[in-house]
Amino acid sequence: MRRLPLMLLMRALLAQAEDFTYKMGEDDTITIIGYSGPGGDVTIQGTMNGLPVTSLEYEAFCGRSAVTVC
C-alpha cells in the first residue's frame, strides 16, 4: 500500500475544510449548513477557524448520495 506524503495529506484535509459552508452562532459556535466537496468519506473537524463545530443543519448534505460522514 502506498502512503501519501505528509504535505499531500495535509493539503487534502485543508481542502476538505474549504468544502463546507457554515454559519457562526451568537455563542461563537459553528453550524455546518452545506457541503460542496467531491464526496466519499467526509470527516467533519471539531473546529473551524478556531471555533467549535457543534451542529449540522438538517439538509447540509442534501442531494449528496456519494457521501459517507465520518
Residue 1 located in a structural domain? no
d(CA 1, CA 52): 34
Q: How many domains does the chain have?
A: 1
Residue 52's pLDDT is: 93
The more confident residue out of 2 and 36 is 36
Residue 16's pLDDT is: 54
Q: What is the number of other CB atoms lying within 10 angstroms of the CB of residue 32?
A: 19
d(CA 39, CA 62): 12
* Band (9; pLDDT cuts 50, 70, 90): very low
**Range of the structural domain that residue 11 is part of:** 6-69
H-helix or E-strand spanning residue 14: helix 6-18
